[in-house]
Amino acid sequence: MSDEKRTPLLSVRNLTKYFHTSTPTGPGIIAAVDGIDFDIYKGETFGLVGESGCGKTTTGRTIARLYTPTDGSILFDGVDLATLSQRELRPFRKRIQMIFQDPYASLNTRMTITDIVAEGMKVHNIASGDEMQERVYQMLERVGLKREHASRYPHEFSGGQRQRIGIARSLAVDPEMIICDEPISALDVSIQAQVVNMLEDLQKEYGLTYLFIAHDLSMVRHISDRIGVMYLGKMAEIAGSDELYMNPLHPYTKSLLSSIPIANPHKKVSDTRIMLKGDIGSPINPKPGCRFAPRCRYVQERCGFETPLLREIRPDHFCACHFCETIKD
């Protein structure tokens, strides 16, 4: 990759998002995202993976400032989005766009496709009138839809087509970065590849930077340059995607990767699988120490009281485990 790639477009530092809740014993705090750091370089795809409740979606939504972070900074092109007011955020809402998981819930059923795709252009004064309509046509054709679809309503489209409409909507405002929150998990297998290939083509064509949030680990590995693995609000590991899959360091990453069923009956993962005991814990009122400790087979006393920091173990390979250098498989 070129040197340009090494300029972080987005630098997240100590990003924290707590939600308030009530528990049987009184008010509690859900530490959805609990102090995470990562960089996303210009033009790359950064995959964010983890199981439900790990905070990956909250991370995406907080970066898009759909949530106000509890603490930490979100440096986008040198500006800290975490502290900006809604008015100050406006220009950044154009530069950072989002694609959502559920193509049925993310399009307003009472708006035509033109209205949906053009809404952002109107808000950001990018185009109006015939010029805007022409750009809507262009965008639809770019994502593999037809001009005549522009006057239709969302219910007339299949899931895959709706996801294309969502992509056209985000592209219409000419963004630099797109946060893709599980963009293919609701789609059929044969359609997923269509959307993934299109996202790859659009990235090359427009020089886009992606934050790709997903739980399908084989697809994330396919699309991402680098991957961050989250567990219960914490970043467990960050590495280049090939490096992560070949040499995972964190015990959680190891068992997560060994659990992916591979579509090859000659390589059954059940032979090599590191089966995790128990369920993902609760993010409510977390205790100090490593979040993964209750399920970790290498757990030691220190893990129970000292939260491991994300350390650079090898060049560009970060891991938050006290003992990852000494763990042998």
Partner 1 sequence: MIPMSNTILDVKNLRTTFYTHMGEVQAVRGISFEVNQGDVLGIVGESGSGKSVTAMSIMGLVDEPGRVSGGSILFMGQELTKLSDAEMNEYRGKEISMIFQDPMTSLNPVYTIGNQLIEVIRRHTDLDKDQAHARAIELLQMVGIPEPEIRIKNYPHQFSGGMRQRAMIAMAISCSPKILIADEPTTALDVTIQAQILDLMVRLKNQLHSSIILITHDLGVVSEVCNKVNVMYGGMLMEKASVFELFDSPQHPYTLGLLKSIPRDVTGERKRLVPIEGTPPDLLKPPSGCPFSPRCPYAMGICVREAAPLYTLSDTHSASCWLHHKGAPVVEGFVQVEEESVHE
> Where does this chain bind partner 1 (CB under 8 A)?
51-52, 158, 160-161, 188-194, 196-197, 200, 215, 217-219, 221-222, 245-246, 255-257, 259-266, 268-270, 273, 275-276, 279-280
Min separation Cβ 291 and partner 1, Å: 14
Q: Which is nearer to partner 1, 103 or 175 (CB)?
A: 103
Q: Which residue type is seen at 292?
A: F
Q: Which is nearer to partner 1, 160 or 283 (CB)?
A: 160
Q: Which is nearer to partner 1, 87 or 155 (CB)?
A: 155
Among candidates 37, 34, 7, 30, which has minimal Cα distance to 231?
34
Q: Which is nearer to partner 1, 201 or 316 (CB)?
A: 201
Min separation Cβ 123 and partner 1, Å: 31
Q: Which is nearer to partner 1, 65 or 162 (CB)?
A: 162
Quick one: 152 exposed, middle or buried, by C-beta within 10 A (0-12, 13-18, 19+)? middle
Q: Which is nearer to partner 1, 7 or 197 (CB)?
A: 197
Min separation Cβ 61 and partner 1, Å: 20
Instruction: Estimate to the nearest angstrom the gap between the alpha carbon of 170 and the chain centroid.
Output: 16
Min separation Cβ 234 and partner 1, Å: 16
Write the DSSP assignment of 39-54 as a string of letters.
Answer: EEETT-EEEEE--TTS
Among candidates 118, 143, 144, which has minimal Cα distance to 131?
118
Contact present, 209 and 241 (Cβ < 8 Å): no
Residue 55 tokens read as 């905070």
Distances (CA, A) of 119 to 87, 112, 125, 129, 231: 18, 11, 10, 12, 36
Which stretch of DSSP H or E encloses residue 255? Answer: helix 251-258
Residue 250 tokens read as 């964190």
Q: Which is nearer to partner 1, 188 or 325 (CB)?
A: 188
Contact present, 150 and 114 (Cβ < 8 Å): yes
Q: Which is nearer to partner 1, 38 or 157 (CB)?
A: 157
Write the DSSP assignment of 129-174 as a string of letters.
Answer: HHHHHHHHHHHHHHTT--GGGGGS-GGGS-HHHHHHHHHHHHHTT-
Q: Which residue has the tokens 């970043």?
A: 235
Q: Which is nearer to partner 1, 30 or 172 (CB)?
A: 30
Q: What is the three-class DSSP state of 218?
A: helix
Contact present, 114 and 133 (Cβ < 8 Å): yes
Min separation Cβ 57 and partner 1, Å: 14
Min separation Cβ 278 and partner 1, Å: 8
Min separation Cβ 132 and partner 1, Å: 28
